[in-house]
Amino acid sequence: MIPSFALERTQEILILLKQMFEEGLLEGCKVFLDSPLAIKATNLYKQYPKLLNEEHEVNSILGHNPFTFDALKLTQSPAQSMSINAVKRRAIIIAGSGMCTGGRILHHFKHRLWDEKNSLIFVGYQVGGTLGRKIVDGAEFVYVRGEKIAVKAKIYTINGFSAHGDREDLLDWIAHFEGLENIYLIHGEEDKAKIFRETIIEKLHIKTHVVKERENTFIFKL
């Protein structure tokens, strides 16, 4: 099981799995992309090959889709998704959400997380408070849609997958806006956001505010 974000992360995973398939490393294995949103996003990627890197642009122009291969099955409907339950061996299931806060991955947890024959591979950072983070931190049991599930599957984390710019990338991006007076930080862990706020103020001299959950007023001072 691979919980994955529909945009960018899933496409990276598909490219890598295709390479593995072509090298004979997935013999007899079925790969399920069980996310309607990720399927739609991947189709958009296929429509704009010129926005891919040079290798994949050339392959797309030649008619070689970088995201599809014979072992890949796209499961759109709920019935198709549930049919994966019958697969008992040699399967890779990619489903959202990336931090296990919703989506079809929860369905697969209920059917597979308790079985030590299975594996759960995280390919993205798990924010504190999410179900994914609880599993990464070693929870023996988790609650999935009200049901208590034992965590017996093997847990792995692969670092290095990230579609986010780092601090310097973001500072450079912000610096290109003319007449920018206020910045509101609404995404990320609070302690990191506070550090980034100070960096923006120090380097760019722009009023910056870390928005709290459910906050409805944005009156603040530099």
23 lies in the same domain as 124: yes
153 lies in the same domain as 171: no
For 12-51, the pLDDT digits (tens) are 999 999 999 999 999 999 999 999 999 999 999 888 877 7
Choice between 212 and 198, residue whose per-residue pLDDT is larger: 198
pLDDT of 48 reads 82
Judged by average pLDDT, the poorest of 49-63, 107-121, 192-206 is 49-63
Residue 162 within any structural domain of the chain: no
131 lies in the same domain as 190: no
How many whole angstroms separate alpha carbon 194 and alpha carbon 185? 9
pLDDT of 163 reads 60
34 lies in the same domain as 83: yes
pLDDT of 145 reads 93
33 lies in the same domain as 123: yes
Q: Which domain holds residue 185?
A: 167-210
Q: Do 130 and 100 form a contact (C-beta atoms < 8 A)? A: yes
How many whole angstroms separate alpha carbon 220 and alpha carbon 222? 7
> 222 pLDDT band (50/70/90 cuts)?
very low
pLDDT of 124 reads 87
For residue 63, is it left (φ>0), alpha (ψ between -120 and 50) or beta? left
20 lies in the same domain as 111: yes
Residue 217 within any structural domain of the chain: no
130 lies in the same domain as 62: yes
For 70-101, the pLDDT digits (tens) are 999 999 999 999 999 999 999 999 999 999 99
138 lies in the same domain as 53: yes
Peptide bond into 97 cis (omega under 30): yes
pLDDT of 83 reads 97
Q: Calculate mean pLDDT across residues 205-213.
A: 92
Residue 216 within any structural domain of the chain: no
pLDDT of 217 reads 53
107 lies in the same domain as 183: no
Residue 221 within any structural domain of the chain: no
Residue 220 within any structural domain of the chain: no
Q: What is the dihedral of CA 157, 162, 164, 165, to 10 degrees?
A: 110
CA-atom Rg of the chain in angstroms: 20
53 lies in the same domain as 151: yes
For 156-200, the pLDDT digits (tens) are 999 877 666 788 999 999 999 999 999 999 887 888 899 999 999
35 lies in the same domain as 78: yes
CATH number for the domain spanning 43: value is 3.40.50.10890
For 161-170, the pLDDT digits (tens) are 766 678 899 9
Q: What is the pTM of this model?
A: 0.78
Residue 23 within any structural domain of the chain: yes
**Per the structure, how many domains does the chain have?**
2
Element (DSSP H or E) covering residue 147: strand 147-150
pLDDT of 110 reads 97
51 lies in the same domain as 138: yes
pLDDT at 213 over 90: no
Which token pair is 168?
């310097």
Using CA atoms, how far residue 140 sits from 100, 102, 120, 128, 149, in Å, is: 16, 20, 14, 17, 9
